[in-house]
């Protein structure tokens, strides 16, 4: 960058501007450990200005016909498709995931924009004629008001697009507080939005940290809050926003289990489980961090997944052939390695050890290799903690009933997957697993944009989830009208 470290910008009232807060942080390329950008946090004045612009935009945007609002999203979809490679490379540079994963993330963002283009049909209400003599009743949907999303670092374009297109399609101004770890992708997204000439204030971007988020949540003009992050943060956001009477959807952390029955193909399941556990360097809320091997499946699976973990190519995600990129920061490396240490101390067998690895030419990068631990005790720290790194812990169970008991005894409820050839076992699993996203013979049960991203227990706080028909319900409020015309 020629020695010049660029500062990311806010986008407020249809214009780019520099944040004016005193606090600032740096953005690293996780593969090299080099600083690639600087983030200055937004001040209270910056936040007030952004929300004043959003509030001023609400009346006009609400009165814009829904079909007209959708036209901006059709154009955004086209721009995202044109700039997919630029977006993917930006994601890889500041997050670390391999380029193919980054391209897949952009595709998921586009899917949500495409889904939101159909919002006008989903905004239709209900009508009942003659509920009494000469009296009609109708239900209509209206915008909820200014909407805020606080996004995490691990999917810097997909997760904002879980919320942004639906919110604006429903007639709401939208404010994004991007992750301070991956702000450049959000800035690039808003460059595309800026090119579409949205009315000033309809879409806004502000940068900052926890204090910024709290100021945004507390602001009286914000009526709905969407959040994705750790469970402690999600619980705090939910409590803070709900106490102020705001609508909230807060996605928290997870500890997802994959279950393999003896009738499943060991090699096929190992391949799928490796992608679930090690993909995105394990930094996703749908990572399969625990494998519950039932009966005789245990030892063969442990051998198969260990072979795959040892052979997984670690390196810079920009390089062809690399299968596992770095984690997000040096602190993340230390945290993940500490959890591996703890797993060994608690009695698990470390079959493949990703601690202390180095990539030639990237010695300052934030790397953890694919790691497998066997015979993880259900009550151990590793079994109960979301690692958010490329680590798979294997637990053992005598039958499906015990596997389900292990899943349902946990405090999270985001995802669980079963591998089997038995329809009976699959139905029992689908029926009894106390999680919001269930997979059968898939390693990542991620809902498509037409279905809500469900989550139970400590993985979600709220009532209406991201995207699908829940999005329209979350970003609108219903009004019932009873009419008599004498």
Annotated catalytic residues are 285
Q: Are 185 and 152 in contact (CB under 8 A)?
A: no
Q: Give CA–CA dist 109/424, Å, rounded.
A: 35
Tell which residue, 148, 200, 145, has the closest CA to residue 13.
Answer: 200
DSSP conformation letters of 315-331? S-TTSTT--B---S-HH
CA distance from start to end of the chain: 73
CA atoms of 157 and 111, how far apart (whole Å): 12
Closest listed residue to residue 414, CA positions, set 431, 433, 428, 427: 433
Contact 155, 166 (CB under 8 A): no
> How far is residue 357's CA from residue 306's CA, in Å, rounded to a whole number?
17
For residue 237, the Cα-to-chain-centroid distance in whole angstroms is 16
DSSP bridge pairs for 257 = 290, 416
Asked whether 31 and 358 are in contact (CB, 8 A), the reply is no
3-state DSSP percent of the chain in helix, strand and coil, to 5 = 40, 25, 35
Q: What are the CA-CA distances from residue 34 to residues 137, 177, 181, 258 (Å)?
A: 62, 24, 13, 36
């Amino acid at each position: 960058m020629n020695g010049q470290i660029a500062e990311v910008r806010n986008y407020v009232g249809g214009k780019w501007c520099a944040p004016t807060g005193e606090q600032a942080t740096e953005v690293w390329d996780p593969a090299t450990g080099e600083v690639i950008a600087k983030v200055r946090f937004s001040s209270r004045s910056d936040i007030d200005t952004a929300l004043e612009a959003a509030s001023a935009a609400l009346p006009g945007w609400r009165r814009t016909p829904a079909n007209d609002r959708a036209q901006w999203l059709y154009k955004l979809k086209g721009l995202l498709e044109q700039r997919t490679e630029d977006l993917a490379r930006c994601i890889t540079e500041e997050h670390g995931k391999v380029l193919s994963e980054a391209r897949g993330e952009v595709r998921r963002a586009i899917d949500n924009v495409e889904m939101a283009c159909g919002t006008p049909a989903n905004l239709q209400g209900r009508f009942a004629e003659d509920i009494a003599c000469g009296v009609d009743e109708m239900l209509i949907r209206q915008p909820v008001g200014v909407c805020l999303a606080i996004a995490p670092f691990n999917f810097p374009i997909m997760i904002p697009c879980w919320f942004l297109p639906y919110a604006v399609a429903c007639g709401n101004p939208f404010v994004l507080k991007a992750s301070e770890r991956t702000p450049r992708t959000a800035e690039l997204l808003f460059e595309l939005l800026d090119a579409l000439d949205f009315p000033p204030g309809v879409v806004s971007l502000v940068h900052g940290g926890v204090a910024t988020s709290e100021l945004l949540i507390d602001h009286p003009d914000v009526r709905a809050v969407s959040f994705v992050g750790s469970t402690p943060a999600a619980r705090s956001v939910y409590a803070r926003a709900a106490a102020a009477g705001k609508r909230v959807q807060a996605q928290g952390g997870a500890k997802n289990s994959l279950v393999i029955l003896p009738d499943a193909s060991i090699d096929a399941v190992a391949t799928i489980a490796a992608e679930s556990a090690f993909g995105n360097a394990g930094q996703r809320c749908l990572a399969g961090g625990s494998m519950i091997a039932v009966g005789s499946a245990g030892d063969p699976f442990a051998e198969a997944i260990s072979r795959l973990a040892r052979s997984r190519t670690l390196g810079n995600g920009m390089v062809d052939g690399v299968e596992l990129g770095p984690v997000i920061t040096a602190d993340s490396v230390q945290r993940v390695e500490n959890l591996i240490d703890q797993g060994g101390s608690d009695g698990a067998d470390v079959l493949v050890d990703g601690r202390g690895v180095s990539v030639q030419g990237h010695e300052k990068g934030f790397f953890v290799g694919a790691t497998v631990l066997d015979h993880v005790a259900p009550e151990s720290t590793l079994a109960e903690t979301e690692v958010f790194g490329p680590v798979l812990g294997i637990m053992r169970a005598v039958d499906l009933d015990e596997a389900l008991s292990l899943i349902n005894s946990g405090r999270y409820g985001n995802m669980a997957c079963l591998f089997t050839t038995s329809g009976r076992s699959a139905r029992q699993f689908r029926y009894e697993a106390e999680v919001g996203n269930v997979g059968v013979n898939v390693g990542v049960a991620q809902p498509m944009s037409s279905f809500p991203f469900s989550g139970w227990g400590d993985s979600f706080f709220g009532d209406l989830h991201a995207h699908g028909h829940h999005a329209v319900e979350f970003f609108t409020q219903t009004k019932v009208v009873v009419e008599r015309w004498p």
